Amino acid sequence: MGAETPKAVVLVSGGLDSATALAIARADGYACYCLTFDYGQRHRIELEAARRVAASLGAADHRVVRLDLSWMGGSALTDPSIPVPQQPTAGIPITYVPARNTVFLSIALGWAEVRGAQEIFIGVNAVDYSGYPDCRPEYMEAFERLANLATRAAVEGRRLRVRAPLMSLRKADIIRAGSRLGVDYALTVSCYAPGPADEACGACDACRFRAAGFAEAGVPDPTVYRGRAAR
């Protein structure tokens, strides 16, 4: 009888980075158990995008977890009274959601224990990104240490690893890698402030990084922008 296929929990937001991380996990031979969070975000169109991405890339399972962070406020992504910035800003932008990756990874860690997965994949990036503190390599290393202190699996010898395969890649390199692995980026969304017809605003950080990445990669951008090309 052959060896069991290794399992990985993969965080899938519906954006191009997480879609690429899922494609990499699949290419590495993992059965992928995908997690998406419905956390009260204003850009809820990403939830349907995550479903499309997980299905297209052959997820072994996909769960959408309801976890309302909107009561907390403090972010333009969860508080509709705070506008999404339409220009680059200095410092950590108001689109940062307090402790979001810590919450998400903690839930992923629990599911990894239950499923017998020793890998958690997350599509964070520390090159073409908005400067969020929970997207840095030192944060991922610290969470992995925590995971291996806090879980029964690790104490009993089944150590867990947090994989961030896009950490040091430029957006263009991420798009090239995903294209080679068959990611259909038309299924993904990145915009923080989509319009009434779900068109991308073309001005938020996520739109700017996305459009610039496609242009640099020399790959056609399938995104529908609101009345103009992304800047």
Whole-number average pLDDT of the chain: 94
Token couple for 105: 């990874």
* Domain ranges, ordered by start, for the chain: 7-193
The reply to whether 25 sits in an annotated binding site is no
Model confidence over 115-145: pLDDT tens digits?
999 999 999 998 877 789 999 999 999 999 9
CA separation for the pair 11, 34 (Å, rounded)? 6
Spell out the residues 6+ positions from residue 169 whose beta carbon is closer than 8 angstroms to its own.
125, 127, 177
The reply to whether 108 sits in an annotated binding site is no
The distance of Cα 127 from the centroid of its chain, to the nearest Å, equals: 15
Token couple for 58: 């052959």
The reply to whether 20 sits in an annotated binding site is yes
DSSP labels, 69-111: -TTT--STTT-TTSPPPSS--SSS-TTPPTTHHHHHHHHHHHH
CA separation for the pair 150, 133 (Å, rounded)? 22
Model confidence over 27-73: pLDDT tens digits?
999 999 999 999 999 999 999 999 999 999 999 999 999 999 999 99
Question: Is the pTM above the cut of 0.85?
Answer: yes
The reply to whether 173 sits in an annotated binding site is no
The reply to whether 18 sits in an annotated binding site is yes
The reply to whether 127 sits in an annotated binding site is no
The reply to whether 35 sits in an annotated binding site is no
Task: State whether residue 171 is helix, strand or coil.
Answer: helix
The reply to whether 17 sits in an annotated binding site is yes
Across-strand partners of 163?
121
Check residue 9 and give its pLDDT: 98
The reply to whether 32 sits in an annotated binding site is no
The CATH number of the domain covering residues in 7-193: 3.40.50.620
The reply to whether 22 sits in an annotated binding site is yes
